[in-house]
Amino acid sequence: MLFAKNIGEYLSIDETAFSNGDLYTILTNKKAKGKKGALIGMVKGTKAENVIKILEKIPLKQRKKVNEVTLDMSGNICLIVKKSFPQTTQVIDRSLVQKLALDALQEIRIKHRWKP
């Protein structure tokens, strides 16, 4: 568990697996753009109840300052954001939306490829 002093107004949350198979939930400050101060928190595991419990250690006053959290469409990540940052707007990650749109387009293209 790791928390930055100033978490920022625009966050991103995602889960990742390391090479040894351990899963982690990672919370980052988007304005830091991967530089110093970007990593806000890293929680071992992805189970919503456990991650929420740990993120609630960030003072509520700081969590209420968050305006927007970028996330994927995973049910547990949505729940984590809803419970941990109740006054924020949830934004689906652009790359995920693009992938879903391209997959749908590819499916339509294949379906109609051999039609006269």
On whether residue 5 sits in a domain, the answer given is: no
On whether residue 1 sits in a domain, the answer given is: no
On whether residue 18 sits in a domain, the answer given is: yes
Torsion of CA 36, 73, 88, 6, to 10 degrees: -10
On whether residue 61 sits in a domain, the answer given is: yes
Q: How many domains does the chain have?
A: 1
On whether residue 2 sits in a domain, the answer given is: no
Which residue type sits at 74? S
Residue 31's CATH number: 3.30.420
pLDDT over threshold 80, residue 114: no
6-63 pLDDT, tens digit per residue, is: 788 999 999 988 888 899 999 999 988 878 878 888 899 999 999 999 999 998 988 9
On whether residue 96 sits in a domain, the answer given is: yes
Q: How far is CA 15 from the centre of its chain?
A: 7
40 is in which domain, residue-wise?
10-112
Q: Please give the DSSP secondary-structure letter assigned to residue 31.
A: G
Which stretches of the chain are assigned E, i.e. beta strand? Answer: 10-17, 23-29, 39-44, 68-71, 89-92
On whether residue 4 sits in a domain, the answer given is: no
Tokens of 74: 């995973």
On whether residue 3 sits in a domain, the answer given is: no
